[in-house]
Amino acid sequence: MPSSVNPQTKKVLIAIGGGIAAYKVCELVSTLFKSGVEVRVILTRSAEKFITPLTLATLSRHRAYTDDDFWQPIYSRPLHIELGEWADLLVIAPLTANTLAKLAYGMGDNLLTNTVLASTCPVLLAPAMNTDMWEQVAVQRNWRQLLTDCRFYGMETGSGLLACDRIGHGRMAEPPEIFVYIQSLLHTQGKRDLAGKQVLISAGGTREYLDPVRFIGNPSTGKMGLALAQAALHRGAKVTLVHCPASWDVPLGVEGIGVISAADMQQVMLKYLANADIIVMSAAVADVKPRDYSNEKLPKRSLPENLPLTPVPDIVAELGKRKQPHQYLIGFAAQTGDIITPAKEKLQRKKLDAIVANPIDKPDSGFGSDNNQAVFLDISGREIEIPACSKLEMAHYLFDLIAESN
């Protein structure tokens, strides 16, 4: 069975730059602490103009460090050395144009930059600035240059209304997105084992409509597919996520393609199959659809007592027929009761490389839950139990297991 992320408490150092997005980092620090992560915080002198050390100290349950601490001889060892060696992961949010330039050229003139230079852990960057600033040739050059260093992981900026009233790119990634990336990096310890790979993922429950209002569907929310997309992206893959209607947004950096029915999903999956290295069919696809469709809503009195049904395309079976030897196809089997026997049968019949059998009759597991549990089975005969964990953690376990089989 794969090991858990790590039974030891993880240590994350948050470095806050001077920008209005600094206020959002309060939510991130609080979320990390509540998740059991040990948190330390550094504020640049400019960051102190937006948020106080007291606020961050209260949320992290530990004093927040500033440049005033850096220049005081009150520590047994240099503070930047202590912090750099302490951290399992360093997060800089918001990353300003000024700090970006310093990091790109290896400068160390404050506590933040010296701590980066004195550390060897992965560094996650969440830039935030005005659109014109972000799009400057020099800023983009510095960004590209910094990301050539394998220690650094860059989050894409979002677009929307900025604090300067400009509408455009430069918005810092939202705290929940940063938190998920942190969880990934703590699991992988920064490895990019999917770099250069194209991962094709399906997510959510298909809808087979009887009329414009009524449809045959299932309770799938697509959260497992979302977690798989996030995990693959954070491990360096180029990700395409084919998803049914969902309440969540497609992550920045992932190509999202929305579909409704099984036929829609099949068309898109087959279109993208040829270029994919790993295909994960986590969507809950309907088995049947109404035989007849009405373009207008049917009056209740006109609904048939016995609804004629017809099969929908078996997408994963078709993918199994068409996949090439270098491609890895993994399916899902949501089951009640005995989950192993039907999963083994599906694994062989649909020519999969592996299948994830997950119980939907267990508490806090399966459809709609943020957590999951499963048994991983593959064609080599492995049968590995994945205990209850978050869906993101399960996604990483699955990619760990896929890597072991290649």
**Residue 361 in tokens:** 């009759």
Name the DSSP letter for residue 301: G
**Other residues' Cβ atoms within 10 Å of the Cβ of residue 178:** 23
Give the whole-angstrom CA distance, residue 303 versus residue 91: 57
Please report which residue ranges of 105-162 form alpha helices under DSSP H.
Answer: 111-117, 131-134, 137-147
**Other residues' Cβ atoms within 10 Å of the Cβ of residue 146:** 20
Q: Which of these is catalytic: 121, 164, 244, 389? A: 164
C-beta separation of 265 from 283 below 8 A = yes
Residue that the structure tokens 């894409």 belong to: 156
Q: Which among 172, 180, 77 has a CA at the least distance from the CA of 127?
A: 172
Name the DSSP letter for residue 177: H
How far CA 92 is from CA of 174, 181, 307, in Å, comes to 13, 13, 57
C-beta separation of 164 from 129 below 8 A = no
**Is 164 assigned a catalytic role?**
yes
Residue 359 carries which side chain, given as an amino acid letter?
A: P
Q: Pairing mode, if any, of strands 288-290 and 238-243?
A: unpaired
Give the whole-angstrom CA distance, residue 66 versus residue 55: 13
Q: Which among 5, 168, 158 has a CA at the least distance from the CA of 93?
A: 158
Run of H or E residues at 359: strand 354-359
Q: Residue 398 CA to chain centroid, in angstroms? A: 14
Residues designated as active site: 164
